[in-house]
A and B are shown apart, each in its own frame.
Chain A
C-alpha cells in the first residue's frame, strides 16, 4: 500500500473546512490545493523578472528619471537577451540587481519612487 493510499483510508483522515456558496463542507485538501498561490495585485512601481535568468546589462541608476522608451536592463534567459523597459515614466528609487546576477522568476529588479 502506498503512503497516499493509506492516507486516504477514511480512519486516518484529518478533515478540513471548505466554503462554497455559503455552505461549509467538511472534506480533505489535495497537495495542489494547499500549495496554490494567493493572488496579489501587481505593483506598477516594482519591475519584476518575468523569467529566471542572468542580468547582462544595467543601464540606469538610483535617482534617474526615465521614459517608457528608456531601456533599464538586459536580462538573459533561454539564450535570449531580453530588454526591460519601465512600465511608466518615473524616477528610480533603487536598483536591486547588478551585472552577472542570476535571478529567479518574480525577483524584484528595480523599484520606482
Chain B
C-alpha cells in the first residue's frame, strides 16, 4: 500500500512542477501568442517520446529573499526524445517561471543535457525564451552562461546544435545561439539583442522598437544571425524537423539516404538561364531542376540573397548547394554573401555533406562601403573554406565566372574534385566589355568611330575568350556539358567520390580570416 501512496505523491509532485509558473503565468504566456515550454517540446518531438530530467531541481540562492521562492524546475525543462525517430537532446526555457531567467541551477540543467548530447553524439536543440540573467544570483548566473558557451564551442562540428528563439534572448544570452549551427526565429515572438531599446534610449538617445532593433525580420534579413524565419511556432517546428531529416546526427555519420524521385518536369533546365549574361533568373530553379523531387531546402533565404545556400538530395544523398543568385545584386560576392557561403561550406565539410557549387557571377560588388567594411577580409573566408573542405566538391559553371569570383566559387585551383561548365559559360579574367576596353584601349581611342570599334573589339574578345573552351583546354574544367546532362553527371561524380579521402598537413588548427 505504501508504494501506491508514494506513487501518488510522485504524481502530485510531477503535476505541480509541470504547471511551471502557475495558471496565471501560463495564461499570460499564451496571450502573447507563445506556447509553454512543455507544449513546445510536445509539438516538436514524436508523440510520447519525451523523457524529462532534473524536474525536481531547485535553486540554492539565498540573497534578496530568494530562499523563500520556489521556482519549478528552475525555469528550464530538459530531456531527450525523438524527432521522426531520430534521438535528440533538448532544453526549453520556461518563461512562466521567473521569466525563464538563468540562474546557476538553471544553467546546470542546460549544461547537463548539453554534455549528454555530446557524449551520445545526438543533435541538441535549445529553445530560448528568457528574460536573461537572474540578477539575484549575481556572478553565478554569468558563470552559467560561460559554461554554456564553452560547451557550444566544444560541441561545434561534432553534433548539430539548433537554437530556437521563441521569446526574448538578450544580453549575454544571445551568444549561445550565435555559437550554434542554426538559429530559428518566429515573427513577433523572437527578440534578440545585446543592448535593449530602453538602454539604447537612455544612454544614446536613439529611439527604436524591440521589433526594429532585433525582431525576427531584422535577424533574417539584415544581420544574418537567423537561418530560418517562420510566421508561427508550428511552422518553425516543421522547419526544424525538415532540417533534421537532411543532416547527420553527428560528424562520424552521413545523412540518411532517402528513396529517390526524379526532379519535376516543370523545371526545364535548358530554359531557365538566359543567354545574355546581363539578364537575371532565379538560380534556385536550376537547383530544383537538378535535385531529387525538385526539393530545395534553402537556408538564410532573406539575408545576403545574392548568394543561395541550402540542401537538396541527389540520389537520396544530402548535398549542400552554394550558388550565385543573378536575381539579386546580379549575384555578386560581397561581405555578407562571402560570410554566408564560407560558414555553410564549413558546415557541410564538418558533417560529411558533399558540396555542389553553381557559378554565375560578375565578380565582387564595387563600392566604398564594401571596401571599408572589409570585403578583402570577408571575401578571403570563402577561399579558405573551399580550400580547406575535404568533402566531395563539385562545381558547375552555368554562365559567367569572371576574375576573382571564378577562383572563389569552388574552382579547380581550390581543389574542386570535378568542374563542369555549360557551353554558354564565360570563364575569363573579366567581362568582355571591361576586358576589351583595357586591351584595345589604344585602337578604340584612335579609331574614327570609337564606339563602333569598341563594339567590334568586344565581339572579338567574346568569341575568342568568353567561352568555356579556353579553361577546358588547360584542364581547369573537366567537361563541358549540356544543361540537360547536369543531373546525371553530378550523380556520377558523387558516386565516384563516395570514398574520397584527403589528408591535409597536420596542425592544431588553421587561422581563418574570421
User: Are these two chains actual partners, yes or no?
Assistant: yes
Binding site for B on A (CB under 8 A): 2, 4-5, 8, 10, 13, 15, 18, 20-33, 36-39, 51-54, 77-78, 102-104
Cα A21 to Cα B466 with chains together (Å): 15
Pairwise interchain contact A39-B329, C-beta atoms closer than 8 A: no
CB < 8 Å neighbour of A26 from B205, B229, B279, B433: B279
Q: Which residue of chain A is the closest to B334 with respect to CB atoms?
A: A33
Q: Tell me if B310 counts as interface (CB < 8 A to partner A).
A: no
CB < 8 Å neighbour of A27 from B205, B304, B328, B433: B328
Mask of B112-144 contacts with A, CB within 8 angstroms, 1/0:
000000000000000000000000000000000
Pairwise interchain contact A52-B204, C-beta atoms closer than 8 A: yes
**Chain B hits for A103, CB < 8 A:** 205
**Chain A hits for B204, CB < 8 A:** 51-53, 77, 104
**Chain A hits for B206, CB < 8 A:** 52, 104
Q: Which residue of chain B is the closest to A40 with respect to CB atoms?
A: B368
Pairwise interchain contact A4-B327, C-beta atoms closer than 8 A: no
CB < 8 Å neighbour of A4 from B277, B302, B402: B302
Q: A21-B431, A36-B369, A77-B203 are in contact. List 6 more A-B contacts (CB 8 A).
A: A8-B305, A18-B330, A20-B362, A24-B278, A27-B326, A54-B205
Minimum-distance CB pairs A-B, first 4:
A25-B330, A21-B434, A22-B433, A39-B368
**Chain B hits for A23, CB < 8 A:** 277-278, 362, 431, 433-434
Q: Tell me if B366 counts as interface (CB < 8 A to partner A).
A: yes
Cα A39 to Cα B372 with chains together (Å): 10
Mask of B288-313 contacts with A, CB within 8 angstroms, 1/0:
00000000000001101110000000
- Answer whether A30 and B205 are a contact pair too, CB < 8 Å, given A20-B332, A25-B278: no
Cα A37 to Cα B368 with chains together (Å): 9
- Answer whether A30 and B328 are a contact pair too, CB < 8 Å, given A20-B363, A25-B362: yes
**Chain B hits for A33, CB < 8 A:** 329
Mask of B365-394 contacts with A, CB within 8 angstroms, 1/0:
111110010000000000000000000000
- Answer whether A104 and B280 are a contact pair too, CB < 8 Å, given A29-B329, A36-B367: no
Pairwise interchain contact A4-B221, C-beta atoms closer than 8 A: yes
Q: Which residue of chain B is the closest to A9 with respect to CB atoms?
A: B282
Pairwise interchain contact A18-B433, C-beta atoms closer than 8 A: no
CB < 8 Å neighbour of A28 from B231, B328, B433: B328
Q: Tell me if B173 counts as interface (CB < 8 A to partner A).
A: no
Q: Tell me if B222 counts as interface (CB < 8 A to partner A).
A: yes
Mask of B416-440 contacts with A, CB within 8 angstroms, 1/0:
0000000000000011011001000
CB < 8 Å neighbour of B329 from A30, A51, A52: A30
- Answer whether A28 and B363 are a contact pair too, CB < 8 Å, given A39-B369, A52-B205, A104-B205: no
**Chain B hits for A21, CB < 8 A:** 362-363, 402-403, 430-431, 433-434
Q: Which residue of chain A is the closest to B216 with respect to CB atoms?
A: A2
Interface size class of B (residues with CB under 8 A): 35 or more
Cα A38 to Cα B370 with chains together (Å): 11
Cα A2 to Cα B50 with chains together (Å): 32
**Chain A hits for B330, CB < 8 A:** 18, 20, 25, 27
Q: Which residue of chain A is the closest to B432 with respect to CB atoms?
A: A23
- Answer whether A22 and B280 are a contact pair too, CB < 8 Å, given A27-B328, A52-B206, A102-B205: no
CB < 8 Å neighbour of A31 from B221, B363, B369: B221
Q: Which residue of chain A is the closest to B220 with respect to CB atoms?
A: A4
Within 8 A of A (CB), among B326-379: 326-332, 336, 362-363, 365-369, 372
Cα A28 to Cα B434 with chains together (Å): 22
Pairwise interchain contact B231-A2, C-beta atoms closer than 8 A: yes
Cα A103 to Cα B328 with chains together (Å): 37
Distance of A55 from chain B, by nearest CB (Å): 12
- Answer whether A31 and B229 are a contact pair too, CB < 8 Å, given A25-B326, A39-B369, A104-B205: no
Cα A15 to Cα B328 with chains together (Å): 9
Distance of A3 from chain B, by nearest CB (Å): 9
**Chain A hits for B434, CB < 8 A:** 21-23
Q: Which residue of chain B is the closest to A35 with respect to CB atoms?
A: B222
Pairwise interchain contact A28-B431, C-beta atoms closer than 8 A: no
- Answer whether A20 and B221 are a contact pair too, CB < 8 Å, given A4-B302, A27-B330, A30-B328: no
Cα A22 to Cα B437 with chains together (Å): 9
Distance of A75 from chain B, by nearest CB (Å): 12
Distance of B224 from chain A, by nearest CB (Å): 10
Pairwise interchain contact A25-B430, C-beta atoms closer than 8 A: no
Cα A24 to Cα B301 with chains together (Å): 25
Distance of A105 from chain B, by nearest CB (Å): 8
- Answer whether A2 and B229 are a contact pair too, CB < 8 Å, given A22-B431, A29-B329, A104-B206: yes
CB < 8 Å neighbour of A18 from B222, B277, B329: B329
Cα A113 to Cα B348 with chains together (Å): 59
User: Can you give 21 contacting A-B residue pairs, CB < 8 Å?
Assistant: A18-B330, A20-B332, A20-B362, A20-B363, A20-B365, A21-B434, A22-B434, A22-B437, A25-B278, A25-B280, A25-B330, A25-B362, A26-B278, A26-B279, A27-B327, A28-B280, A32-B221, A32-B222, A51-B204, A102-B205, A104-B205
Mask of B232-262 contacts with A, CB within 8 angstroms, 1/0:
0000000000000000000000000000000
Distance of A19 from chain B, by nearest CB (Å): 8
Q: Which residue of chain B is the closest to A33 with respect to CB atoms?
A: B329
Distance of B216 from chain A, by nearest CB (Å): 10
